[in-house]
């Protein structure tokens, strides 16, 4: 079960996330993002054994993804660009992000070689999440492990879980006081609600 807090940029937020029950934290290595963190800074953020360290990438060369993974001690590459399976990094678990819109054939994603799909809300021309939810009922066609993202917080995560029966949930922007800075109370409330909804 995945309880992921994404967009971590500092030790204080990482420590608070893990203390509140996060089982995964995400570092954004996409330079245009307001939550971008360098691999070296991410390496300095300490997490306990057993907490997945997830790197968010957009159309990055797979060799560079693997290099960053070594530097920052990543377990997972979460790919948010247009990466075909031939460009997935070979030495990491891969979670492929999918923007769920009304015109998307989610069943076409079922055969993805990724270990899991991160279902995110629409973001227009932007890469990565935009803090918007999607119609969670669309996810019911999938049997592959899914992580629900996009506009989640304590107020709606139980409904998202009830409709999608996911492997996990992922939240970022709605838990912030500013881009890259988490509101620890909102984070704690979200993780508590998510844990209860997932039966953890």
For residue 180, the 8-state DSSP code is T
pLDDT attached to residue 125: 46
**Complete domains list, the chain, with CATH:** 2-198 (3.20.20.70)
Going by DSSP bridges, is the β-strand pair 168-171/176-178 parallel, antiparallel, or unpaired? Answer: unpaired
**Position 68 confidence tier, pLDDT thresholds 50, 70, 90:** very high
CA distance 90 to 57: 15
Active site residue 115: no
Catalytic-labelled residue, pool 13, 120, 153, 170 = 120
pTM over 0.95: no
> For residue range 14-27, what is the model confidence (pLDDT) as tens digits?
999 999 999 999 99
Q: Is the pLDDT of residue 166 over 50?
A: yes
What's the mean pLDDT in 53-69?
Answer: 97
pLDDT attached to residue 124: 45
> For residue range 87-132, what is the model confidence (pLDDT) as tens digits?
999 889 999 999 887 777 788 888 899 999 999 986 544 455 556 7
The neighbouring-strand residues paired with 177 are none
Which two three-digit tokens encode residue 62? 């797979």
**Position 141 confidence tier, pLDDT thresholds 50, 70, 90:** confident
CA distance 188 to 186: 5
Let me know how long the chain is: 200
For residue 188, the 8-state DSSP code is H
Q: 77: closest CA among 44, 28, 150?
A: 28
Active site residue 120: yes
CA distance 26 to 183: 16
Alpha helices in the chain (DSSP H): 11-19, 39-44, 62-72, 157-164, 184-198
């Amino acid at each position: 079960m995945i309880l992921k807090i994404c967009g971590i940029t500092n030790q204080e937020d990482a420590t608070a996330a893990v203390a509140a029950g996060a089982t995964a934290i995400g570092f954004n290595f996409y330079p245009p993002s307001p939550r971008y963190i360098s691999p070296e800074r991410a390496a300095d953020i300490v997490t306990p054994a057993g907490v997945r360290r997830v790197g968010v990438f957009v159309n990055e060369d797979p060799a560079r993804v693997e290099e960053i993974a070594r530097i920052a001690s990543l377990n997972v590459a979460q790919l948010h660009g247009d990466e075909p399976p031939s460009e997935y990094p070979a030495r990491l678990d891969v979670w492929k992000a999918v923007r769920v819109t009304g015109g998307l054939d989610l069943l076409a994603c079922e055969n993805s070689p990724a270990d899991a799909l991160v279902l995110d809300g629409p973001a227009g021309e932007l890469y990565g999440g935009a803090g918007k939810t999607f119609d969670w009922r669309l996810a019911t066609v999938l049997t592959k492990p899914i992580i629900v993202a996009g506009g989640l917080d304590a107020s709606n995560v139980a409904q998202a879980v009830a409709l999608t029966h996911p492997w996990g949930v992922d939240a970022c922007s709605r838990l912030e006081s500013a881009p890259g800075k988490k509101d620890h109370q909102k984070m704690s409330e979200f993780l508590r609600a998510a844990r209860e909804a997932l039966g953890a």
